[in-house]
Structure formats: C-alpha cells, structure tokens
C-alpha cells in the first residue's frame, strides 16, 4: 500500500471527469479554478502532513482491516486513543490551514456505517457489513478522499419524504435491478465535494416503513454518470478572481460547499450498504452525528487558534495589546476555544466499543461539544472584531495600495506601531475579515451553527440522553424521600 503525496493527490483529481458547474458555467478543469484551488490546497494538507516525520504518528494509523499504515482519515477507531488522536489531528489541520480541510465527514461516515451495518446484519441477516469493509479496504489501499453526503433538500419540513409533492426532494431508490439500484435526488451543503474521489450517501433522518425507499446508503465515484456538482457561493468569493493576494485574507487555503445532483445514478450491489432497512436509519444518523459533533471539538479549536493569533497580532500592530480590556478579551477567547477542545477530548476519552469493535464517542458529551460550538465561535469572532477596530470593514483595496498616486497616502496614514509595517497590519486585518466575515466565516461560523445538525438537534439529544429519572432518584435519596 502506498500513501499518496500532495502531488499524487492533485494528479489523481486531474484524471477524474466530474461534471462541475460554477456560476452557471460547466467547468472542465476545476482543479486549477481560482475559486476551487484554495479548498483543494487545504484538503491536500491531509496528504502533505503524513509525509512529515513530525506529524506522521498523528496523521497515520495501523488499519485493523489490512494491518498496514493508512491515512487516519480512512481509519476505523480501535480505541479511545484513536478517538483522541482524531481530535488532535483536526486541531492541527485547523491551525495549519485556518479553514475547513474537508475530509472529516467521510471519516465520520466510515465509522458510523461500520457499526450500523454490523448490527443490521446481526438483526436482519443481511450482508452489508462485509460489503462495507471491502469498500473501505479499497479506499484505504488507494488513499482516497470520500465525501460524506447526508443532508437532503427536504422540501416541506412538515412532511415525510414519501409525502412530499416531489418525491426527489429526498434521495431515494427509483429502481432495483439484479446488479444494483438506481437512485435519484440531491444532497446539499456538501463539504469538499469537488476535491473528493468518492461519495458516500446516507439517509438524513429517522424513517418509517412508508419511506423505506429513502432508507438508502451507498458509495459511488464522484464522477459517476448522472452525478452533477454545483459549486456554492461564499461571502467575498470573487476576490479570488482578482489576481491579488492581500484582499483574500487567507492567501493559500479555503473551503467549499456544493450541491450534488444524483440524476438516476446506478449503484452496483457491492457498493450498497442499506436499501430499505428503515429501522436502522435513525441509528445511522445518530452515530454519524455523534462522530461529526466530536469532530468540531478539533477543527473549530484549530481555526480558533488562528483567530486568536490574528486578534493578538492586530492588538500589537495597533498598540492596544497592553490595554487591560484587550488582554481580558484575548483571555476570554482562549477560554472559549479551549472549552470547545476540552469537550472534543472528553467525548473521545469516554468512548466505548460497538458490537463491530469500532469505538463510538460518548454521545452526550459529543452533543455538548457541538452545542458549545454553535455559540462560542460567534462570541470569539465578536471579540476579535472588537479588538480589530473599524478598519476591518473600511480598508481600501490592494489596488489602491499599488496605485502610484494614492498608495503612498495609505502607507502613511494607515501606519501604526513603528516596528510593524502598514502591509503587515493590512494583511492581518484581511485574515481576520476572512475568518469572521468572508469565505472563512462560512466554515468557522455558519458551519459551526448548522453543520452536524443545528442547535435544536443537539438539545433533543441532550434531553434524550440526560437520564433525568436517575438524577431525580439521586435527589430524592439525599432529601430522604422514598
């Protein structure tokens, strides 16, 4: 087994024949498109770091399927040490890229599917688990990026999938053949879809018998016939098309989302992991959500480290770093960020094995982690913007700085502390703008709110898992109430 390098990964994407649309135009070469390339660079870091001895132990793991070293993003967690290493790896990559690096959803899908297919087979006599593990061996052996696709279009949220005016608003089986199934529908908010080799599709909610055709999980190549990808817009995204560096903020890295259309896509049976077993749809959603809510304890803390660094740097550049209220704001940002990370580590350390042997996080603590993530990054962004000042949103463009007549004026009047250049100050302002208002905010803020389920989803899980009866029993015992 050979692990791909960064260059190998980029070359592998060039060989694919995906149908990609960006701003209404079909794009033949998304690899080099300026709107896509920053996200590709971020995903490529998951290949670059394993090649560096300092990070290899964290980025690689011994596969329980083959015994060989694999990228941790393709690994099944074999203990709490693996769960903890996952969170540490995600924080590292968040620090390195300052954005979403896109492989977490696929990793979380692998681990959820492994345990659920095993339990499905035990209960129903199906053969999904062996199929899934054979597929995962293929992913590990070829070191592939896999997009995990869960969120359907959903249509009228009051109605079940089978009750929708348009049956395609949830991905479903439209034909069953001796050699496989045909599926139709769409998946929204697909992180890193254009940078993926494969797509794993899962149901988006708990389903009942009348919705059995919507209880479907499978894997397809990202360039399979009938798959279309429509690139999503981000705030200030056209700055990437301007050719400069200063105004984009994060010069090298970024994320992306896409709508994936599945237009009568054929899936051979060996790549089908659920086909009508609706009673297990909720379990798959719950376990995937648990893993993905754990993930945010790592990646958001890593990006938070970058945000804290940007805020502290601007305070130094502008001469406010010794002000007591600025120091207090930085400390509060640190406190919030480390609380996010602590929850990610805690739910990992409290993980337990499932029947398949793959370890599952503590679901209560994973949901606490994600519920914190729906709040804390927003407060950190507010504090960072407070420290940065109004120039964060009034800074002239890079072209103004290079204009021979007005550039010198900007250089003169935007200079602050002598030891730092005007350019350094402007670059840091643009980075902070990127993280809290621009393209980076899509991953750091909006994804923090809605990714892996919106806040109400975590509240529902907390109410379900809290065991209030036991808490009342404890209180009654101490109060002397029989």
Alpha-carbon span 239 to 249, nearest angstrom: 10
- Contact of 392 with 432, CB cutoff 8 Å: yes
List 260's β-bridge partners, or say none. 187, 229
**CA dist., res. 465 & res. 462, Å (int):** 5
> Smallest Cα–Cα separation from 344: which of 86, 148, 108, 92?
86
Q: Known catalytic residue: 292?
A: yes
DSSP code at position 442? I
Q: Report the distance separating Cα 173 and Cα 169, nearest Å.
A: 12
Is 404 in contact with 410 (CB distance < 8 Å)? Answer: no
The Cα–Cα gap between 439 and 430 comes to 11
C-alpha distances (whole Å) from 280 to each of 214, 286, 287 are: 12, 10, 11
Of 23, 443, 438, the C-alpha closest to 230 is: 23
Catalytic residue among 292, 359, 369, 436: 292
Inter-residue contact 52 to 64 (CB < 8 Å): no
Annotated catalytic residue, options 46, 74, 151, 191: 191
Close Cβ partners of 156 (under 8 Å, ≥ 6 residues apart): 164, 165
43, 99, 299, 426: the catalytic one is 299
Asked whether the beta carbons of 436 and 444 are under 8 A apart, the reply is yes
Is 369 known to be catalytic? no
Which of 43, 99, 104, 426 is catalytic? The answer is 104
Cross-strand bridge partners of residue 228 = 19, 261
- Known active-site residue 299: yes
443, 303 contact by CB (below 8 A):
yes
Residue pair 113/200 in contact (Cβ under 8 Å)? The answer is: yes
Q: Are strands 146-149 and 198-201 parallel, antiparallel or unpaired?
A: parallel
- As to burial, measured by CB atoms within 10 angstroms (0-12 exposed, 13-18 middle, 19+ buried), residue 466 is exposed
DSSP strand pairing (69-71 vs 180-187): unpaired
Note if 104 is an active site residue.
yes
The answer to whether residue 191 is catalytic is yes
- Report the C-alpha gap between 436 and 194 in whole angstroms: 24
DSSP letter (8 states) at residue 390: T
Residue 21 structure tokens = 């649309």
395's tokens: 């800074």
Q: Are 435 and 445 in contact (CB under 8 A)?
A: no
Cα dihedral angle (123, 124, 130, 135), rounded to 10 degrees? -110
- Asked if 341 is an active-site residue, the reply is no
Catalytic residue among 296, 317, 341, 444: 296
In this structure, what DSSP letter does residue 248 have?
Answer: G
Catalytic residue among 119, 198, 257, 433, which? Answer: 257
Out of 47, 75, 99, 100, pick the active-site residue: 100
Positions annotated as catalytic residues are 100, 104, 191, 257, 292, 296, 299, 447
């Amino acid at each position: 087994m050979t692990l791909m390098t960064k260059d190998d990964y980029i070359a592998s994407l060039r060989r694919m024949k995906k149908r990609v649309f960006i701003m209404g135009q079909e794009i033949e070469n998304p690899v080099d498109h300026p709107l896509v390339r920053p996200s590709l660079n971020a995903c490529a870091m998951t290949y670059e770091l394993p090649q560096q001895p300092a990070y290899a132990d964290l980025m690689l793991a011994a596969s329980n399927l083959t015994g060989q070293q694999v990228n941790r993003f393709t690994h099944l967690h074999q203990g709490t040490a693996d769960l903890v290493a996952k969170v540490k790896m995600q924080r590292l990559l968040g620090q390195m890229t300052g954005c979403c690096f896109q492989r977490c959803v696929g990793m979380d899908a692998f681990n959820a599917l492994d345990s659920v297919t095993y339990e499905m087979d035990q209960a129903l006599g199906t053969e999904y688990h062996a199929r899934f593990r054979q597929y995962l061996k293929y992913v590990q052996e070829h070191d592939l990026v896999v997009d995990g696709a869960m969120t359907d279009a959903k249509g009228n949220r009051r109605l079940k999938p089978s009750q929708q005016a348009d049956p395609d608003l949830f991905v479903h089986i439209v034909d069953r053949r001796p050699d496989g199934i045909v599926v139709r529908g769409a998946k929204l908010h697909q992180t890193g879809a254009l940078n993926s080799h494969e797509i794993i599709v899962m149901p988006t909610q708990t389903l009942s018998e009348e919705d059995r055709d919507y209880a479907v999980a499978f894997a397809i190549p990202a360039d399979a016939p009938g798959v279309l990808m429509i690139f999503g817009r981000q705030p200030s995204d056209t700055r990437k098309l301007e050719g400069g560096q200063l105004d984009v903020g994060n010069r090298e890295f970024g994320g992306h989302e896409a709508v994936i259309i599945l237009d009568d896509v054929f899936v051979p049976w060996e790549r089908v992991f659920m086909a009508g077993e609706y009673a297990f749809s909720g379990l798959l959603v719950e376990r995937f959500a648990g893993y993905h809510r754990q993930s945010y304890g790592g990646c958001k803390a890593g990006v938070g480290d970058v945000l804290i660094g940007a805020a502290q740097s601007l305070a130094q550049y502008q001469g406010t770093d010794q002000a007591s209220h600025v120091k207090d704001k930085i400390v509060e940002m640190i406190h919030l960020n480390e609380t996010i990370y602590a929850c990610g580590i805690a739910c990992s350390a409290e993980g337990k094995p499932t029947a398949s042997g793959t370890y599952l996080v503590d679901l209560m603590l994973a949901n606490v982690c994600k519920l914190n993530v729906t709040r804390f990054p927003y407060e950190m962004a507010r504090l960072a913007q407070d420290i940065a000042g109004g120039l964060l949103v009034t800074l002239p463009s890079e072209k103004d700085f290079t204009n021979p007549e007005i550039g010198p004026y900007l250089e003169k009047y935007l200079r602050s502390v002598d030891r730092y250049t005007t350019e350094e100050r402007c670059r840091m302002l643009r980075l902070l703008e990127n993280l809290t208002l621009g393209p980076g905010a899509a991953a750091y803020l909006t994804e923090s709110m809605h990714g892996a389920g919106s806040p109400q989803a975590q509240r529902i899980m907390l109410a379900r898992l809290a065991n209030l009866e036991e808490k009342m029993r404890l209180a009654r015992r101490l109060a002397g109430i029989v």
